[in-house]
């Protein structure tokens, strides 16, 4: 009987020891698990902080890009404004271009020479001179039609009709001094050429801007 009692005490002692050991392991595992959870939480928080910083940086980058885009847009608008103000300079260049044409035609017509002293040769020179100025007159008039406002062009059109009548009447009147003579047609063409040349200069200097 006593032997059996001793055996039972030993077994209970072993069971108690095993239970205590098991409890100790459980506490260590719980502690380790808690440490791991704390580390994971800290890591997650750190990652979130970095993400937040990256977000801030991204917003800053986005703001910088927006500022850059606004600067580009502003520069583009300034270019458009500059281009918008260019018609005046373009129109000025057009006037300079036609002043040069006037000079070129003037030089060209002054270099015309008759092949001989006959009336026919002289008429050929004056007719070529008139045709050169008349061609330039039509060129100038066409340029003004594109450049001038409608109202101003309408006024010029009326003045041009009156001028054509004046030119033809003046040439005819001058030629009648030699009516029936060889100089009649020559004088007519000379007056046409002279008045057409004057009109070319008037249109460019007074109407082109």
Q: Per-residue b/e over 74-109, b at no fewer than 16 CB within 10 Å?
A: eeeeeeeeeeeeeeeeeeeebbeebeebbeebbeeb
Is 43 found in the same domain as 144? no
**Total-model pTM:** 0.57
- Which residue, of 84, 112, 144, is where some domain finishes? 84
Q: Which domain holds residue 29?
A: 1-84
Is the same domain home to 125 and 93? yes
Q: Count the domains in the chain.
A: 2
On the question of pLDDT at 10 being above 90, the answer is no
Per-residue pLDDT averaged across 121-134, rounded? 96
Same domain assignment for residues 41 and 113:
no
Residue 197: closest CA among 121, 104, 116: 104
Span 21-80, pLDDT tens digits: 555 544 444 444 434 444 444 444 444 444 444 444 444 444 444 454 444 444 444 443
Q: Let me know whether 80 and 135 are in one domain.
A: no
Same domain, 80 and 93: no
The average pLDDT across 79-91 equals: 41
Same structural domain, 60 and 100: no
């Amino acid at each position: 009987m006593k032997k059996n009692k001793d055996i039972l005490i030993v077994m209970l002692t072993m069971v108690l020891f095993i239970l205590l050991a098991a409890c100790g392991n459980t506490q260590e595992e719980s502690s380790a698990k808690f440490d791991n959870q704390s580390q994971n939480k800290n890591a997650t928080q750190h990652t979130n902080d970095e993400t937040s910083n990256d977000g801030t940086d991204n917003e800053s980058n986005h703001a910088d890009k927006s500022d850059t885009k606004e600067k580009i847009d502003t520069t583009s608008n300034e270019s458009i404004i500059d281009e918008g103000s260019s018609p005046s300079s373009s129109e000025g260049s057009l006037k300079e271009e036609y002043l040069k044409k006037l000079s070129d035609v003037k030089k060209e017509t002054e270099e015309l020479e008759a092949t001989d002293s006959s009336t026919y040769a002289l008429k050929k020179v004056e007719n070529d001179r008139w045709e050169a100025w008349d061609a330039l007159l039509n060129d100038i008039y066409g340029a003004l039609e594109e450049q001038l406002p409608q109202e101003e062009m309408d006024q010029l059109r009326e003045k041009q009709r009156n001028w054509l009548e004046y030119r033809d009447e003046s040439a005819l009147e001058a030629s009648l001094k030699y009516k029936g003579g060889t100089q009649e047609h020559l004088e007519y063409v000379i007056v046409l050429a002279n008045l057409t040349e004057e009109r070319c200069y008037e249109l460019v200097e007074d109407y082109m801007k």
